[in-house]
Structure 1
Amino acid sequence: MPETRSTGVDQPAPDDLISFLKAIPDGRYRRGVRYPQWFLLLVAVLGILSGCRSSRDLEAFARRHREALNQALGLNFKRWPSDATFLYLFNKAHLQEFGQVLQAWMISQVPSGATGLDQLVCDGKTLRGSAVETEDGSHRFVAQVTVYARALGVALAQTTYDTHESSERAALKELLSSLDLDGVLIQADALHTTQAFFAGASPRGPTCS
Structure 2
Amino acid sequence: MSLLQALAAVPDPRNRRGRRHSLQSILFLALSAVLAGARSYAAIADWAAVAEPEVRVCADPPHASTFRRLLSRLDPVALQAVLTGWVLSRRAAAATPATVAAGPLAEQRRVVAADGKTLRGARSPDGAQVKVFGVYDHAHCLVLTQSAVLDGDEIAAFTTALATLPDLREVIVTADALHCQREHATWLRKRGGHYLFTVKGNQPTLRRALAALPWAQAPGQRRRQRAHGRTESRSIKVIDLDGTPAAALFPHAARAIKVVRRRRDTRTGKTSTEVVYALTSLTYRQADPALLATWIQGHWGIENRVHHVRDVTQGEDASRIRTGTGPEVMAVLRNTALNLHRLEGHTNIASAQRRAGWRAGSAHASLTAA
TM-score of the pair, normalised by structure 2:
0.44
Alignment of 1:180-195 (within 5 A): 180-195=167-182
Where structure 2 has 5 or more consecutive residues not aligned to the other structure, the ranges are: 95-107, 197-370
* Contact 1:120/1:187 (8 A) holds in 2: yes
* Contact 2:188/2:195 (8 A) holds in 1: no
Query: What RMSD in Å do the two structures reach over aligned CA positions?
Result: 2.7
Matching residue of 2:80: 99
Q: Where is the helix percentage greater, Structure 1 or Structure 2? A: 2
Q: Where is the strand percentage greater, Structure 1 or Structure 2? A: 2
Alignment of 1:58-207 (within 5 A): 58-70=44-56, 73=57, 75=58, 77=59, 79-111=60-92, 118-130=110-122, 140-162=128-150, 165-179=151-165, 180-201=167-188, 203-207=190-194
Tell me the SS of whatever aligns to 1:129: strand
TM-fit CA distance, 1:152? 4.0
- In 1, Cα distance between equivalents of 2:34 and 2:14: 22
- In 2, Cα distance between equivalents of 1:183 and 1:112: 22
Q: Count the aligned residue pairs.
A: 181
* Contact 1:117/1:151 (8 A) holds in 2: no
TM-fit CA distance, 1:61? 0.7
Q: In terms of Rg, which structure is larger? A: 2
From the superposition, tell whether residues 112 and 195 of structure 1 become closer, same or farther in structure 2 (CA, over 3 Å).
Answer: farther
TM-fit CA distance, 1:175? 1.1
One-letter amino acid of the counterpart of residue 61, structure 1: W
* Contact 1:55/1:87 (8 A) holds in 2: yes
From the superposition, tell whether residues 200 and 68 of structure 1 become closer, same or farther in structure 2 (CA, over 3 Å).
Answer: closer
From the superposition, tell whether residues 24 and 160 of structure 1 become closer, same or farther in structure 2 (CA, over 3 Å).
Answer: closer
- In 2, Cα distance between equivalents of 1:182 and 1:112: 22
Tell me: higher relative CO, structure 1 or 2? Use CA pairs within 8 A at least 6 residues apart. 2
* Contact 1:18/1:38 (8 A) holds in 2: yes
Q: 1:19-58 deviations in whole A, cap 9, x for unaligned?
A: 1011223221122211111011011111112111111011
TM-fit CA distance, 1:140? 5.0
Percent identity reads 29
Q: 1:62-85 deviations in whole A, cap 9, x for unaligned?
A: 011053425xx5x5x0x3210011
- In 1, Cα distance between equivalents of 2:120 and 2:3: 30
Where structure 1 has 5 or more consecutive residues not aligned to the other structure, the ranges are: 1-12
* Contact 1:117/1:149 (8 A) holds in 2: no
One-letter amino acid of the counterpart of residue 149, structure 2: Y
TM-fit CA distance, 1:198? 2.3
From the superposition, tell whether residues 201 and 23 of structure 1 become closer, same or farther in structure 2 (CA, over 3 Å).
Answer: same
Tell me the SS of whatever aligns to 1:153: coil
Matching residue of 1:10: none
One-letter amino acid of the counterpart of residue 25, structure 2: F
TM-fit CA distance, 1:190? 2.4
From the superposition, tell whether residues 90 and 140 of structure 1 become closer, same or farther in structure 2 (CA, over 3 Å).
Answer: closer
TM-fit CA distance, 1:150? 3.2
From the superposition, tell whether residues 117 and 147 of structure 1 become closer, same or farther in structure 2 (CA, over 3 Å).
Answer: farther
Q: 1:100-151 deviations in whole A, cap 9, x for unaligned?
A: 10111111123289xx77111122122213579x9xxxx9533221111234
One-letter amino acid of the counterpart of residue 168, structure 2: L
* Contact 1:121/1:149 (8 A) holds in 2: yes
